């Protein structure tokens, strides 16, 4: 193969076939994909399935803790997991800039293959487009996923005053990592993205018969966006204890230095949970097996409707609003 992507690799001819067979099929090969039909025929035993799609564009493509390939698989598989679904089948679309290094593309594809294995999922279809040099920024990946629902009824519309609010780990790591990597800020720390697959954690909660009201991964807008969406969708008030929100020293330092708020920074392997109060401590013990910084951070109350309140250690209260503006562009 050539060492860089050429426009002819997207023309549907010999060069396209070479890219597909020698790179994509090499890493994603399975009995469904190799049939090379116009559409994949899938056998799904359950009648209840979840489906999600997302597109990924990030600068830099490679960052501490992950890359755009890992991000693309985690992003869609995590969306399925948040609905109590086991990821099974994905399609992938690559939009590639002419001249993109084939070795970097293969490194990205290898990362995708590894993350697919962690989810026991497979790529069953895909598409490749090559754009002229300068018309896009290197690479865009789209993934669409289908999963089999294993726990029914998870919904942001059914959170009630019987629920406590948990977070699966410390917040803001992805946003802080991408910003410092893109801006070339050298830190003497172990800061890296939380980019990770969440289905194994959700599976453990389901197997333990935890009563789950809602789950949502805190991507763009962080936990502030998730909790404000929940407050509106369920017409509730969510009260958070500021000191209970886990923030790593590395992320805290970045926020202090640059004036960010960790609750509004993006995550790619962190999720919020609304769990029935009687199951909350048991759920927390399960979460801590995956990350020791998991915590119960708040409760549902009737103080206000459709608002999120942050209680400080000084006895003061303030509203935690929905993020506005473009804090960190191109983070996922």
Q: Per-residue confidence at 189, pLDDT binned at 50, 70, 90?
A: confident
pLDDT at 27: 93
- Identify which of 251, 252, 294 has the alpha carbon closest to the alpha carbon of residue 273: 294
pLDDT at 121: 97
Residue 328 has pLDDT above 60, yes or no: no
Q: In what order do the strands lie in the sheet with 49-56?
A: 49-56, 139-149, 85-97, 122-131
Q: Per-residue confidence at 215, pLDDT binned at 50, 70, 90?
A: very high
The predicted-structure confidence for 61-71, as pLDDT tens digits, reads as follows 999 999 999 99
Please compute Rg for the chain using Cα positions. Answer: 21
Which CATH number is associated with domain 7-149? 3.30.1330.10
DSSP characters over 141-172: EEEEEEEEESSTT--TT---TTEEEEESS-S-
The Cα–Cα gap between 154 and 109 comes to 32
Q: What percent of the chain has pLDDT over 70?
A: 96
* Phi, psi of 57, deg, nearest 5: -145, 120
pLDDT at 287: 98
pLDDT at 197: 98
pLDDT at 330: 59
Average pLDDT value over all residues in the chain: 92
pLDDT at 187: 73
Q: Per-residue confidence at 162, pLDDT binned at 50, 70, 90?
A: very high
Classify residue 130 by burial, with Cβ atoms within 10 Å: 0-12, 13-18, 19+. Answer: buried
Residue 326 has pLDDT above 70, yes or no: no
Q: What percent of the chain has pLDDT over 90?
A: 77
Sketch the domain layout of the chain as residue ranges: 7-149, 163-319
For residues 259-273, give the mean pLDDT.
95
pLDDT at 86: 96
For residues 81-95, give the mean pLDDT.
96
Q: Per-residue confidence at 332, pLDDT binned at 50, 70, 90?
A: low
What is the dihedral angle through the alpha carbons of 204, 207, 208, 210, rounded to the nearest 10 degrees?
A: 90
The predicted-structure confidence for 137-154, as pLDDT tens digits, reads as follows 999 999 999 999 999 999
CATH superfamily placement of domain 163-319: PurM-like C-terminal domain (3.90.650.10)
For residues 260-271, give the mean pLDDT.
95
Q: Pick the more confident residue, 14 or 200.
A: 200
| Global pTM value | 0.91
pLDDT at 9: 83
Task: Please give the structure tokens belonging to residue 307.
Answer: 């608002």
Q: Per-residue confidence at 313, pLDDT binned at 50, 70, 90?
A: confident
The predicted-structure confidence for 109-123, as pLDDT tens digits, reads as follows 999 999 999 999 999
């Amino acid at each position: 193969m050539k060492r860089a992507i050429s426009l002819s690799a997207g023309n549907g001819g010999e060069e396209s076939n070479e890219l597909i067979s020698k790179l994509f099929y090499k890493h994603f090969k399975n009995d469904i994909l190799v049939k090379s039909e116009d559409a994949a025929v899938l056998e799904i035993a359950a009648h209840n399935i979840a489906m999600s799609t997302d597109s990924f564009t990030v600068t830099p493509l490679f960052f501490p803790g992950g890359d755009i390939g890992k991000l693309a698989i985690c992003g869609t598989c995590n969306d399925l997991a948040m609905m109590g679904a086991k990821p099974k089948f994905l399609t992938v679309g690559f939009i590639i800039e002419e001249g993109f290094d084939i070795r970097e593309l293969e490194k990205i594809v290898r990362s995708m293959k590894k993350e697919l294995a962690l989810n026991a999922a497979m790529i069953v279809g895909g598409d490749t487009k090559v754009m002229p040099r300068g018309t896009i920024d290197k690479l865009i990946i789209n993934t669409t996923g289908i999963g089999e629902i294993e726990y029914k009824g998870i919904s942001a519309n059914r959170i009630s005053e019987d629920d406590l609010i948990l977070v699966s780990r410390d917040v803001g790591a992805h946003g802080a990592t991408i910003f410092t990597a893109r801006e070339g800020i050298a830190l003497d720390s172990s800061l890296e993205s939380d980019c990770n697959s969440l289905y194994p954690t959700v599976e453990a909660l389901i197997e333990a018969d935890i009563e789950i009201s809602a789950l949502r991964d805190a991507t763009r807008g962080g936990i502030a966006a998730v909790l404000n969406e929940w407050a509106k969708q369920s017409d509730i008030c969510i009260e958070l204890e500021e000191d209970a929100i886990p923030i790593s020293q590395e992320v805290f330092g970045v926020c202090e230095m640059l004036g960010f708020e960790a609750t509004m920074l993006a995550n790619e392997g962190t999720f919020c949970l609304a769990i029935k109060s009687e199951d909350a401590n048991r759920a927390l013990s399960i979460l801590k097996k995956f990350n020791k910084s998991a915590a119960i951070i708040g409760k549902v109350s009737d103080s206000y409707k459709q608002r999120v309140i942050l209680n400080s250690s000084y006895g003061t209260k303030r509203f935690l609003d929905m993020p506005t503006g473009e804090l960190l562009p191109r983070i996922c």
